[in-house]
Amino acid sequence: MKAPKILPWIARKAGISDELALKLWRRAAGEAEELVGCCTSSDYYRLAMERFVDLADAESETCEAPQTLCHPRVSWLWRHQSRMSQLSLIAAQNTYRLWQSNWDNFLATQKRAA
């Protein structure tokens, strides 16, 4: 799998080099492929990105004298974005289930009336 285009941005935010970020990405992708099995699913990509962000944060903590204001942690931002995207999907799914339930109830009353 090709490296995502967001890697340099995460590397700059974590305060690590692009080369190190690419090595960490390959490591995270390998670990995700071992866990998921295939490298084409969304679960694989999600797991690889979460693992990469964790590795980048851990590596930024080992750098000499990290400045928290210059190099804030990236993991909270990634996890927050993931939660926000899941919330919209959950809301859409719940709306669909409500609509389906109301439609089934409507059809059931129509059959009883006929």
Q: What is the pLDDT of residues 50-88, one digit of tens each?
A: 899 889 888 887 765 545 555 556 777 777 777 788 888
Among 5-9, 52-56, 63-67, 109-113, name the one with the lowest average pLDDT: 63-67
Average pLDDT over the chain reads 83
Locate the domains of the chain by residue range.
7-113
CB 53 within 8 A of CB 8: no
- Tell me how crowded residue 44 is: count the other CB atoms within 10 A of its CB: 18
pLDDT value, residue 61:
76
Residue 43: both structure tokens together: 């679960």
pLDDT value, residue 110:
83
* Chain centre distance of CA 38: 17
pLDDT value, residue 63:
62
Q: Is the pLDDT of residue 15 over 80?
A: yes
CB 32 within 8 A of CB 47: yes
- List phi, psi (to 5°) of 17: -80, 160
Q: Which helix (H) or strand (E) holds 63?
A: none
Q: For residues 46 and 38, what is the distance between their CA atoms, to the nearest angstrom? A: 13
pLDDT value, residue 60:
81
pLDDT value, residue 1:
65
End-to-end Cα spacing for the chain: 58
